[in-house]
Amino acid sequence: MSQWIGTANQKYASYAMEELRRIIPGASFAQLAAGEVFLMTSPIAKTDTLSAILRQEPIFLRHIQPVDRLIEICGSANDLDELSAMIRHSRLAFEGKRAAVHIRRSSKSAFHYSASDTKGILDAVLEEIGAEPVVQQPDIILSIYAAADFLYAGFGAPRDMLSDWPGGAVRFQREEGQISRAKFKLLEAERSFSLQYASFRRALDVGAAPGGWTSLLLERGLSVTSIDPAEMHESLSAYPTFTHVKKNASEVKLKEAAFDLLVCDMSWSPMLMCRLILDLQYALTRDATAIITVKLMHRKPLQTIREVKERLETGFRLLKAKQLFHNREEVTFHLQRK
């Protein structure tokens, strides 16, 4: 048996739990933060549970951490002493590694210490046992969730937690002159799907206005053709590699096999989006990559995803589907043209 803290986007925890039930028969769940954070009790061991999750990664599970230690909150320095003791007891796991400490808390937690104070104390303990405290690119993460009455603490590699950000909440700094926050979705997709946009040459951005995704691809050195009847942001005209086709995508005739990357972040119904993307398939090179957001416009997101997957797989291979932190009522598909 093993226990885990799971996190999903707000309102989507129930779907993450449904996926986990299918992957790990006999798993049971308790809500810790309504619609977002939950405790999973798996009937199988930690290594077997983790292997099952990584083999069939759930779409709606944003982050997961093992519960290696359950500490009842005293509301005093004893809480920090217990966490420090856990690190010292697990010295071999941390020694010689770059180690990050992630602390999250529920609004009703009796744990009184701030994240920065807790991290400061635990970083000192990590240094004491020969680890290097870091914020970015850790080898191992100590993840702590402070619920109402208990601390749930566990450690593991970033890959095993599905993210190297606390709770999988990927944060990007807003830039001066940034066209839209939609850019963050494409940035997060690059990390989540292990892509490098600079490795592509020519991109097609469908439903591009006002140009948040187009701007990122232009910054990475790609030539971008953006299709949208609406106006694009004026700053994009400074790029000689930018082309705006001011039409509906269904009205456009493109050169065959001209693009090795297609991106689409349109607020269309899922089935209309599928038809449009499949109609544009001819403009993509063989094995071209596609990054597409799928809008979840009714109460059956798992069914919507299955239907979209079946439709798109007539022309594409689905490599991964994930609800990213910056997705809201949607998921992101990573596809490759057949």
Which residues are identified as catalytic? 295
H/E element holding 103?
strand 98-105
Residue closest to 102 by CA, chosen among 53, 72, 64, 46: 64
Residue closest to 152 by CA, chosen among 4, 323, 325: 4
- Direct distance between the N- and C-terminal alpha carbons of the chain, in angstroms, rounded to an integer: 42
33 three-state secondary structure? strand
Cα separation, 285 vs 281, whole angstroms? 9
Cα separation, 201 vs 224, whole angstroms? 9
Cα separation, 254 vs 225, whole angstroms? 10
Pairing mode of beta strands 284-295, 259-264 = parallel
Q: Please give the structure tokens belonging to residue 103.
A: 């602390």
Count of C-beta atoms within a 10 Å radius of residue 199: 12
Cα separation, 83 vs 79, whole angstroms? 7
157 three-state secondary structure? coil
228 three-state secondary structure? coil
Side by side, the strands of the sheet bearing 150-156 are: 69-72, 150-156, 140-146, 98-105, 132-133
Phi, psi of 302 (to 5 degrees): -65, -40
How many residues does this entry show for the chain? 338
Cα dihedral 211/217/219/223 (nearest 10): -100
Phi, psi of 51 (to 5 degrees): -60, -40
Q: Please give the structure tokens belonging to residue 13.
A: 């925890």
